[in-house]
């Protein structure tokens, strides 16, 4: 009994000492944190092989002596910056794929300008993506391409696949892609047509401001912002933690405007009417039926995704028409799944294994 009491006292003493040291470090590192700029992101060497308006198509420079035959095209969301897949060396899906021997291309939609408020899903799915695919084929000299889409980029990718059966698409991988908006309960509630006048928003503002989008994503976990700041203070002594925190915080607050017409279409047809899930969605008067997707397909979802809850993503695999299709659920959240510290052990190897055996 006495020995236990002594051990406890000694342990408390060492913990208090350690906390005092950390408190000192927090003060020093805290000043550093405030006085230094944002960390550099998107550093993997690349060339812009095509640009059109704000759109840029990148080709990343190879990091392996030999690459798989089929190039990989990464399609990103319309509302966030693409560097989430290329944060920093060692924490970059792009860099990982290059080192595994893939020839990697990426569509960066850029920041929509006020005149881009006219853009609709038709422009992205029937024009921009096929155009970029053509440029990838031309640049690589190959007749087919693999596509990887993240979040809303996944939605665009499956729409592209559904609208171009028999096209050059060879394999399709999606991460955390919503299809059934009934599963996005809070978003659906907030955009209730009785109170959410999407026409007036788009007619008045044109593109939907990034602040509005950021606020709505933040409201999904309203207490997490404050808890995040507390954790940052607690871990201010830890360089690795603060670096990672800054990068993710920068990306999360670095939202871009949502092109107005596309937002209107997304709200009315996908959020309210749930047409993509019901098989009623049309692009330029043609049905966009996910059953038309017949290429090998994988959908990787996150167990703790609060932005795209599993209820909104789980129907994607059953809806696509591919014979070779599968869903994989991995630990993590919406962002940590693709770019968190554990992505290198979870998502990235899964993607590598699935894609490599289909890329020759």
Name the DSSP class of 123.
I
For other proteins, the closer of residues 138 and 286 by Cβ is 138
Taking the complex as a whole, how short is the minimal distance between the CB of residue 116 and other proteins, in angstroms? 8
Specify whether 132 is catalytic: no
For other proteins, the closer of residues 33 and 196 by Cβ is 196
H or E segment at 108?
A: strand 104-108
Residues that bind other proteins (CB under 8 A): 4, 7-8, 11-12, 15, 19, 47-50, 52-53, 59, 61-62, 64-69, 101, 103, 113-116, 118, 131, 134-135, 137-143, 185-186, 189-190, 192, 194-197, 200-201, 204-206, 219-224, 226-227, 230-231, 234, 356-357, 359-360
Taking the complex as a whole, how short is the minimal distance between the CB of residue 179 and other proteins, in angstroms? 21
Burial class (CB in 10 A: 0-12, 13-18, 19+), 16: exposed
For other proteins, the closer of residues 62 and 292 by Cβ is 62
Classify 181 in phi/psi space as left (phi over 0), alpha (psi -120 to 50) or beta. Answer: alpha
What does the block give as tokens for 64? 């392996």
Taking the complex as a whole, how short is the minimal distance between the CB of residue 3 and other proteins, in angstroms? 10
For other proteins, the closer of residues 10 and 253 by Cβ is 10
Return the SS3 of 232: helix
Q: Exactly one of 132, 151, 174, 288 is catalytic; which is it?
A: 151
Taking the complex as a whole, how short is the minimal distance between the CB of residue 83 and other proteins, in angstroms? 20
Specify whether 305 is catalytic: yes
- What percentage of the chain's residues is helix, strand, coil (to nearest 5)? 50, 15, 35
For other proteins, the closer of residues 88 and 336 by Cβ is 336
Q: How far is Cα 288 from Cα 284, in angstroms, rounded to an integer?
A: 10
The sign of the torsion formed by the CA atoms of 111, 99, 136, 261 equals negative
For other proteins, the closer of residues 224 and 342 by Cβ is 224
Taking the complex as a whole, how short is the minimal distance between the CB of residue 312 and other proteins, in angstroms? 15
Q: How many CB atoms lie within 10 A of CB 145?
A: 23
H or E segment at 20?
A: helix 2-35
- Report the first-to-last Cα separation within the chain, whole angstroms: 67
Q: How far is Cα 295 from Cα 168, in angstroms, rounded to an integer?
A: 10
Q: Exactly one of 86, 108, 289, 334 is catalytic; which is it?
A: 334
Cβ contacts of residue 44 below 8 Å, gap of 6+?
60, 61, 86, 89, 92, 94, 95, 98
Taking the complex as a whole, how short is the minimal distance between the CB of residue 36 and other proteins, in angstroms? 26
Are 274 and 183 spatial neighbours (Cβ–Cβ below 8 Å)?
Answer: no
Specify whether 151 is catalytic: yes
H or E segment at 174?
A: strand 169-175
Would you name the residues annotated as active-site residues? 151, 305, 334
């Amino acid at each position: 009994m006495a020995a236990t009491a002594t051990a406890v006292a000694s342990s408390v003493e060492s913990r208090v000492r350690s906390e005092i040291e950390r408190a000192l470090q927090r003060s020093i590192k805290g000043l550093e944190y405030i006085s230094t700029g944002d960390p550099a992101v998107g550093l993997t060497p690349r060339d812009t092989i095509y640009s059109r308006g704000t759109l840029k198509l990148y080709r990343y420079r190879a990091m392996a002596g030999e690459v798989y035959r089929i190039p990989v095209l990464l399609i990103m969301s319309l509302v966030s910056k693409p560097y989430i897949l290329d944060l920093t060396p060692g924490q970059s899906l792009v860099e990982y794929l290059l080192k595994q021997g893939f020839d990697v291309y990426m569509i960066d939609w850029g920041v929509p300008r006020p005149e881009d408020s006219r853009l609709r899903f038709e422009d992205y799915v029937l024009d921009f993506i096929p155009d970029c695919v053509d440029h990838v084929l031309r640049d690589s000299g190959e007749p087919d391409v693999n596509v990887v889409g993240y979040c809303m980029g996944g939605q665009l990718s499956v729409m592209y696949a559904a609208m171009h059966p028999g096209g050059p698409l060879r394999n399709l991988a999606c991460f955390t892609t919503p299809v059934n908006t009934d599963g996005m309960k809070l978003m659906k509630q907030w955009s209730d047509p009785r109170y959410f006048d999407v026409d007036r928003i788009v007619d008045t503002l044109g593109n939907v401001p990034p602040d509005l989008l950021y606020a709505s994503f933040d409201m999904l976990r309203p207490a997490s912002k404050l808890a995040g700041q507390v954790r940052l203070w607690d871990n201010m002594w830890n360089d690795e933690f603060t670096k990672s925190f800054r990068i993710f915080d920068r990306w999360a607050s670095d939202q871009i405007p949502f092109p107005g017409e596309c937002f209107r279409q997304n709200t009315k047809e996908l959020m309210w009417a749930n047409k993509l899930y019901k098989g009623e969605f049309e692009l330029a008067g043609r049905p966009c039926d996910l059953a038309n997707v017949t290429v090998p397909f994988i959908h990787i979802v996150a167990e703790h995704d609060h932005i795209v809850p599993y209820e909104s993503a789980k129907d994607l695999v059953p809806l696509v028409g591919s014979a070779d299709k599968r869903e994989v659920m991995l630990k993590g959240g919406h962002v940590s799944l693709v770019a968190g510290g554990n992505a290198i052990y979870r998502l990235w190897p899964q993607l590598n294994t699935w894609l490599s055996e289909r890329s020759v």
